[in-house]
Structure 1
Amino acid sequence: MSLVELFILSCIYQLIDSSKNEDEKNKASKITSYFLDNLMEQFGSNKELHVDQMQHLLDVAQKKDSCHVAYQIEENSNGYDRLYNGTYDLFNTSKKPECLTAAELLALYNWNGTINSAELQQFTPGLLYQATLQHCNDDNKQEEALSTYTQSEVWGYGMLSITVVVGSGLLACLIFVCVANPHVYAILLMTMVSLAVGVLTGMGFLFLIPEALQLSENYDKGEYIWKLTCVAGGLYFLVIFERIIKVLKHAKQHRIKQVNSNAKLLVESPTKEQKMAVPEGMKSLRKEQVDSVAWVLILGDALHNFVDGIAVGAGFAQSILTGVGLSVCIICEHVPHKVGDFAILVNAGMSVKQAALYTVLAGTMCYLGLTMGILVGELTDATSWILALAAGIFLYIGLVDMLPEICEKVDDEKTVKGQLKIFALQNLGILAGYSIMIIVALYASDISFE
């Protein structure tokens, strides 16, 4: 082969190589333009980005905000597969843009495992675009996985949970009948109420409020859980501070009474009959009020169960985990209240069988509430509103209804030692209940019912 022929072949090779490189550059430019056009269409206006729009883009990329138009843009666009003319058919006909890894993005550009600064400049729009895709967030993937259950599973778990709720109340009433010692009964009831305060407060702050406000979609889970725990901690600190002041005040008054033995006692000592009476919260009723009070109590209990069922149904419509969490909270609140209602019905003149029968009949309203809650949650967008309402109800029951009840137990004790004992037992129950809800909230994504 002559020198002239070698020269001609070399020129042809250079032309082919140059044309190939030019094609690669054009392809990379098309890909970059595609990402840039989508970003401008999502976040800009008239192919321009203002400062507030750039801030919104940054917030979405940092998962501090949500973007609601990414899927619509993909549906209206030609898609990556058409852009590449079939050379990289990765997306097919998916409605959502694919979540690409770094290696897959490099493959789009036909680049190797390393890129230089000039290539990074072309590569950056693709990285930024992927960062704005909400469904590519690991937390969102876990939440979608938790909520992807069939209708039969939702209804099955819901019915099972309500059955456990109703059964737990009846079992607690049976235990109440078997416990003969009023002191032991009072301790058990107070411990359950204290546990319920912690569980209800934790469910309201850590589950229902975040679900209603959709905090888990836009914020790191650990961040808002601990911040909401600080809110609950502020409330708890004030309760503890107030109780300590009252205990110290009672101790001071007790010392003054011992010094001045002639002074009148401000509080009469309980008689033997009072000590053996039914514990506070289970107060006996007058016979002439028996019939009316009993029926009003049953009606109120049925309505209460209906509302509880709606809350559980809305929770299961949201996700299985939320529904189970709500069921656990309702059990903690359900058991002590059922025992109290049962005692009142017995004191009202009903037999044990009659009281148990009406307790079960009132509990069946939970099933009706569950049905309505699931249907409303599935057919409408009212789930978040129902959960927000449930959060308010749970916080009210825990902090306004049950917490003062256990605080009165401390005041009823006549000795400082007895007050401190009950105070410690109550706080142990509250902290245990709230700690359980923190653990469940932090590791909810690892819980599966499959």
Structure 2
Amino acid sequence: MVSVGGVRGASLSRTSTRRGGRGDLKSFISTYYYNQLGEKNGSKMESMNPILMAIGASLLMSLVSLVGIFFFKARKKLLKEEVLTLVGLATGALLGDAFLHLIPEALEIRGAKETGLGIIWGIMIFFVLEKFLKWRHCHETDCHQGHSLAGMSLAADSIHNLIDGLIIGSSFMISTPLGISTSLAVLLHEIPQEIGDLAILVHSGYTLKKAALVNLSSAFFSLIGVLIVWLMGKGINLHQELIAITAGGFIYLAASDLIPELHRHQSKIKESLWQLITVSFGIGIMYFLV
């Protein structure tokens, strides 16, 4: 998630300066394209309707959720063997996103106490949600861990996409170059996460087609975020309130559902080491996208 920080246009350059020594790829791309677009095409692009451009960017972000289909189709013969590997990557991506992206941004915007409270709220909300999903499913049919895991993943991803939509919409309301640069930064973040989300759904028992359609439906929450900005104006700060809650949800999902799944499917030291590598790799991806 790019650090717009309540539609503060200058935060891109501040973030780049603060982290530039570490080779911040996402911030570099975001700042570079913002500067290039602003210098070369600023006056022409500012005449375009910002909300229409934000909607277009949001729809493009939604289509990114389908990238996992091509990944799985290309390796269909190894699908079952590799799903747990992707669950490990998803675990690392969720933890990395929470601790390297969301929590630092929430701390900068809201402060330590409110951020901590938001994380606790997120954990409690997803705890209650999982209880409800398990209760509902266990009353309808035989209990199965996959159903609640899929529901939790979709809920967390939907909130995350809503935040992305709020940020994209807010950025386009400030300026078109900033909106485009922000969208590019969000795109970098979404690709590995969407593959992980699809892996969770497939592991939970969904067919590849159904998993892709459900994942696409959650991706459209970014469009809802854009429409909220349009209805309430560019000063909307709702995404600030949701950042820490989303972080808590991601932490809960990884620690309560995905990590136990990895423990449940290990039988040899070699498999345990491979799981550790995949989780670490997922964290590493998010580290280089900070």
TM-score bucket (shorter structure):
0.5 to 0.7
In structure 2, what is the Cα distance between the partners aligned to 1:307 and 1:416? 36
Spell out the pairing of 1:173-322 with structure 2 (5 A cutoff). 173-176=69-72, 178-181=75-78, 182-210=80-108, 212-213=109-110, 289=141, 307-316=159-168, 317-318=170-171, 320=179, 321=181
Q: Which residue of 1 aligns with 2:3?
A: none
Q: Which residue of 2 aligns with 1:338?
A: 198
Whether 2:70 is the aligned partner of 1:171: answer no
Q: Distance in 2 between matches of 1:430 and 1:340?
A: 17
Q: Distance in 2 between matches of 1:421 and 1:295?
A: 26
Residue matched to 2:287: 434
What is residue 425 of structure 1 aligned with on the other side? 278
AA partner of residue 85 (structure 2): I
Within the candidate set 212, 229, 236, 1:382 is matched to: 236
Match of 2:259 among 407, 421, 424: 407
Query: Which residue does 1:368 correspond to in 2?
Result: 224
Measured in 2, the distance between the counterparts of 1:419 and 1:289 equals: 33
Scaled by the length of structure 2, the TM-score of the pair is 0.54
Unaligned runs of 5+ in 2: 1-9, 18-30, 113-136, 172-177
For residues 391 and 325 of structure 1, the distance between their equivalents in structure 2, rounded to whole angstroms, comes to 17
Q: 1:180 to 1:164 in 2, by over 3 A?
A: farther
State the Cα deviation string for residues 205-235 of structure 1 (Å, max 9, x = none): 343442x34x9xxxxxxxxxxxx9xxxxxxx
Residue 340 to residue 173, structure 1, CA distance change in 2 (3 Å) = farther
TM-score where L is the length of structure 1: 0.38
Over residues 243-300 of structure 1, what are the superposed CA-to-partner deviations in whole Å (9 max), with x where a residue is unaligned?
xxxxxxxxxxxxxxxxxxxxxxxxxxxxxxxxxxxxxxxxxx99x749xx99999998
Judge conservation of contact 1:194–1:406 (CA < 8 Å) in 2: no
Question: Counterparts in 2 of 1:41-120, with a 5 A limit?
Answer: none
Distance in structure 1 (CA, Å) of the matches to 2:284 and 2:83: 21
Shift of 1:204: 1.0
Contact 1:302 / 1:362 at 8 angstroms: preserved in 2?
yes
Q: Larger relative contact order (C-alpha < 8 A, sep ≥ 6)?
A: 2
CA contact (8 A) 2:152 2:253 kept: no
Distance 1:410 1:303 in 2: 21
Q: 1:432 to 1:185 in 2, by over 3 A?
A: same
Mapped contact 2:153–2:197 kept (Cα < 8 A) = no
Q: Structure 2: how far apart are the matches of 1:353 and 1:374?
A: 33
Structure having the higher Rg: 1
Q: Kindly provide the CA deviation profile for residues 279-331 of structure 1, in whole angstroms up to 9, marking residues without a partner as x.
A: xxxxxx99x749xx999999988876664443123313145355554554455
Structure richer in helix, relative to its length:
2
C-alpha separation in 2, matches of 1:157 and 1:402: 34
Q: CA deviation at 1:343?
A: 5.7
Cα distance change, pair 377–397 in 1 and its aligned pair in 2 (3 A): farther
1:367-406: CA deviation from partner (whole Å, max 9, x where unpaired) = 233221354351xx332xx232232133123322124445
Give the Cα separation in 2 of the matches to 1:301 and 1:424.
Answer: 22
Contact 1:195 1:433 in 2 (8 A): yes
Q: What one-letter code is carried by the residue in structure 2 that aligns with 1:366? A: S
- Total equivalences in the alignment: 219
Task: Give the distance between the partners of 2:250 and 2:153, measured in 1 at CA.
Answer: 17
User: Within the alignment, does 1:159 sit opposite 2:55 as a pair?
Assistant: yes
- Residues 399/328 of structure 1: CA separation in 2 closer, same or farther (3 Å cut): farther
Specify the SS of the correspondent of 2:197. helix
**What is the CA–CA distance in structure 1 between the aligned matches of 2:89 and 2:154, rounded to whole Å?**
25
Contact preservation (8 Å) 2:150, 2:200? no
* Superposition CA RMSD, Å: 4.7
Cα distance in 2 for residues equivalent to 1:298 and 1:184: 18
Preserved contact between residue 310 and residue 373 of structure 1 (Cα < 8 Å): no
Give the deviation of 1:430 after TM superposition.
Answer: 0.9
Task: Tell me by how many angstroms 1:423 deviates.
Answer: 1.4
Letter in 2 for 1:399: I
Quote the residue 1:237 is aligned against.
none
Whole-angstrom distance in 1 between the partners of 2:277 and 2:146: 35
Partner-residue secondary structure (3-state), 1:382:
coil
Alpha-carbon distance in 2 for matches of 1:190, 1:326: 22
Distance 1:150 1:342, change over 3 A: farther
